Amino acid sequence: MAKLNPNSPRSPFPAILSLLFLSLLAGCGEQEDWSPLDGPWDPNHPDAEAILQAPAPDAPIDVEMAEAGERWYRVRGCLACHRLDDEDVVGPSLKGITLRREYDWYRAMVLRPDSMLQNDPIAQELLEIYRIPMPRQGVDDLRVRAMWEFHRQLDREAFSLEGR
Ligand code: HEC
């Protein structure tokens, strides 16, 4: 029986095919891993600093930003613990969050839930109710701002609010 020579030259086709396959996969991954930072308001945008400020209560909804926020909210898995209707699952539903919290509080809670749970009385009250500490989410400022815009949009629709 002929011995298989491990060094024998192999056809390049399987390698090429698997490269093609991998690049296809990477292409899909890119879409799934879509980030709002790809939008026009990336951190290097000249207005990035202004964008990060709390929006004025009567500021019109930035629809593009709200869309980015919605996608990020879903991609990041917030929905696993926070629904957007009247039901609580692991954590509180975030319906009406723009009415019960200030933006700066939301921002701190999403960026650093661990230190909020240690230091902030509202976060501690929530922990007493929900019993599970919200884990740190690894999101950045711009994405947090975009998710807030998404909540503003939802809350305006849900509560028929003008000027919020
Ligand atoms: C593993 C579950 C889990 C995930 C994932 C999660 N959270 Fe939470 N979150 C909680 C829990 C539980 C609380 C209530 C406070 C506590 O017990 O830590 C909470 C509290 C909050 C609050 C305060 C709610 C209120 O009524 O004031 C906000 C805002 C929030 N989370 C936003 C987010 C966002 C945005 C994401 C995604 C980036 C996210 N959370 C991902 C579990 C989670």
Q: What is the pLDDT of residue 26?
A: 44
Instruction: Give yes or no for residue 129 having a pLDDT over 90.
Output: yes
> Looking at ligand 1, which residue's alpha carbon is closest to its atom 36?
78
For tokens 């500490």, the residue is: 133
Q: What is the mean pLDDT of residues 30-39?
A: 47
CA 88 to ligand 1 center in whole angstroms: 11
Q: What is the mean pLDDT of residues 44-65?
A: 83
Does ligand 1 come within 6 angstroms of the Cβ of 142?
Answer: no
Question: Considering only CA atoms, which of 94, 74, 75 is closest in space to residue 83?
Answer: 94
Q: Which residues contact 44 (CB under 8 A, 6 or more apart)?
A: none
Question: How high is the mean pLDDT of the chain?
Answer: 80
Q: What is the pLDDT of residue 102?
A: 95
Instruction: Give yes or no for residue 164 having a pLDDT over 50.
Output: no
Q: What is the mean pLDDT of residues 100-127?
A: 96
CA 136 to ligand 1 center in whole angstroms: 9
> Looking at ligand 1, which residue's alpha carbon is closest to its atom 8?
134
- How many CB atoms within 10 Å of residue 68? 26
Q: What is the mean pLDDT of residues 82-87?
A: 94
Q: What is the mean pLDDT of residues 17-25?
A: 52
Question: Mean pLDDT lowest for which of 7-21, 51-65, 135-149?
Answer: 7-21
For tokens 């990336």, the residue is: 42
- Rounded distance, CA 34 to CA 164, Å? 28
The answer to whether the CB of 83 falls within 8 A of the CB of 93 is yes
